[in-house]
Amino acid sequence: MASPVSTLPSLTGNLPPKSGRALLHALPFPPSIVLSLLAVYVIWSSTFLVLRFMVAELPPLATSGVRFMLAGGLLYAFLRLRGAAAPTGKQWVVSVLSGTLMFFVGNGFVAIAAREVPSGMTAMSIGSVPLFLITMEAVLGQRPLALQWVGIALGFAGVVVMGWSEAAASPVALSLLLLASIGWASASLIVRRAAMPAGLMAGATQLIGGGTTLLIGGLALGERFTAWPSTSALAAFAYLVVFGSILGFSAATHLLRNAPATIATSYAYVNPVLAVMLGATLGGERISASALLAGLLVVAGVALLITSEARRHRA
């Protein structure tokens, strides 16, 4: 059985050979890269709105825990059947720690905040993760470039504007989003510095570890599945498991392995913009002018960080 990413090029099989295929092969990157980019852009941008539909009826932490445990378990079983090595005990410890920060703190807090904050604003807030990551690396000794300092300043200005404009409406939710961004950045820092399982197995173990702590945390806080959810809530859950977690994560990993860094990480400033558009068109959300300004500042700051980092590695 092929991996979710390796099957992406087959999606072009129904295109006319002299139009769709020719167009894909004329692009500057292989078709798998192009389709993986489209998957990460569209799927991950849509998960913020879909999450809002899920948590409207289902407990946020416990349901997210089941989602990630299911996605991680399926991916783990698939990889083991393909012959991937089982993680060592030390690798499991690192995966559980980073998975807890990434999925319990990151996604779990986002799921709680999604009940109060529009999906577009949630995406703009989470778009600040690279700002916190590069700031943490600066503290640890990796000095940012001059343009990156500008990006950091722009990005944190956006965070301040967003907090100033929206804190009165939902201070707890915005605080959770800030902590979620810090959790994601901390997990990313651990993944970059610690010994992790190879390839997609790292993601599978993180999903399992983070999903387990989410489920335990949700049940400990009194969350229960008290009523059978509607078809829309179940469809949202299934979409987040299959597309948001398995396919989206596989596509992102494929990009990190095969595309230039500036392309592979471009979702960090593309997703917030697309998420705002999806929230407005499909979710009927309205974003205030100050929140939109804040989002633009964050996106501009992250774009500077990523492009500057790409230039550093090419130099």
Give the pLDDT confidence of 212-266 residue by residue, as tens digits: 999 999 999 999 887 788 999 999 999 999 998 888 878 887 777 777 666 777 7
Indicate whether this model's pTM tops 0.85: no
Q: Is residue 13 part of a domain?
A: no
Q: Is residue 19 part of a domain?
A: no
- For 83-87, 174-178, 256-260, 274-278, which range has the lowest pLDDT when averaged over its residues? 256-260
Confidence at 150, pLDDT banded by 50, 70, 90: confident
- The DSSP element (H or E) to which 137 belongs, if any, is helix 129-139
Q: Please give the residue range of the domain that contains residue 224.
A: 35-314
Q: Is residue 17 part of a domain?
A: no
Tell me which residue of 257, 268, 311 sits closest to 30, measured CA to CA.
257
- For 135-139, 168-172, 237-241, which range has the lowest pLDDT when averaged over its residues? 168-172
In the predicted structure, residue 1 carries a pLDDT above the cut 70: no
Confidence at 310, pLDDT banded by 50, 70, 90: low
Q: Is residue 51 part of a domain?
A: yes
Amino acid at 310: A
More confident residue, 7 or 235: 235
| Number of domains composing the chain | 1
Residue 169 pLDDT: 63
Give percent above pLDDT 90 in the chain: 25
Q: Is residue 24 part of a domain?
A: no
Q: Is residue 53 part of a domain?
A: yes
Confidence at 12, pLDDT banded by 50, 70, 90: very low
Q: Is residue 248 part of a domain?
A: yes
Q: Describe the crossing of helices 119-126 and 289-314 by its angle, rounded to 10 degrees.
A: 30
- By the 10 Å C-beta count (0-12 exposed, 13-18 middle, 19+ buried), 109 is classed as buried
State mean pLDDT over 167-181. Answer: 81
Q: Is residue 21 part of a domain?
A: no
